[in-house]
Amino acid sequence: MTTPASAPPTPYATLLGFTRYVDRTGPTKATFVGGLRKQRVSRSGFNPHGQFVKALKADIAFHTGGTHLDQVVDVVKPRWRPLYQALVPGATAWLRSLGEPRDVDLAQTRDALAMLGDLPVKVNPQFGVRHADGRVEAVRLHFDEAPPSEEATLATLHLMARHMDAVLPHAEPVLVDVRRGEAHRMPADARPEQIERWLAGEAAAFRAIWATAA
């Protein structure tokens, strides 16, 4: 009796995975999607930034202006300490750019599922920020050594804005480049309909590559 072959994994991407995909060109796109497909099959993956995000959120929630970020460098596993040491200065600078710690509060965000054609993309900002003047921001963090490209930034901010009613109503999407302490917002001259068409094409190519990846 033959054992039926297991069903192939359905195409799926997180916001991070999809924006890293659109950043690539040529054959590197196929290699990248193949890696995502293998991860989905093996259910592997590890987030080294978990404790860092928790410390950053604690500094916002408790109005401590960077105390928790300073402390997390000493308690994280030694293998991740150089990474955290590289991230803390920029993150602290961004925290200070928000103004007085007491004028900022942490806001809860929710994940959303964006459909780009037939491709589901998980939209998952790390947290929200509520300002004393009533402004609200949904924050996605960029940890890479290189700054976020224009393409990755536009894709991230567009997909967050597209689903903001579910993520954090009335909030503005913000992509924070943690290493440099810079906040990126949607350009005033952005054309959402053009971005949507571009992302739909990228998603269709993603699905095609996924279907042929071994």
Q: How confident is residue 1, by pLDDT bands cut at 50, 70 and 90? A: very low
Instruction: Report CA 198 to chain centroid distance, whole Å.
Output: 19
Say how far apart CA 158 and CA 60 lie, in whole Å.
25
Q: In what side-by-side order are the strands of the sheet with 13-14?
A: 13-14, 119-123, 112-116
Write down the domain spans for the chain.
13-44+103-213
Give residue 182's identity as a one-letter amino acid code: E
Quote the mean pLDDT of the chain: 93
Instruction: Report CA 116 to chain centroid distance, whole Å.
Output: 17
Q: What pLDDT sits at residue 214?
A: 57
How does pLDDT run across 2-58, given as a tens digit for each residue? Answer: 444 556 788 999 999 999 999 999 899 999 999 999 888 877 667 899 999 999 999
**Residue 133 predicted with pLDDT over 60:** yes
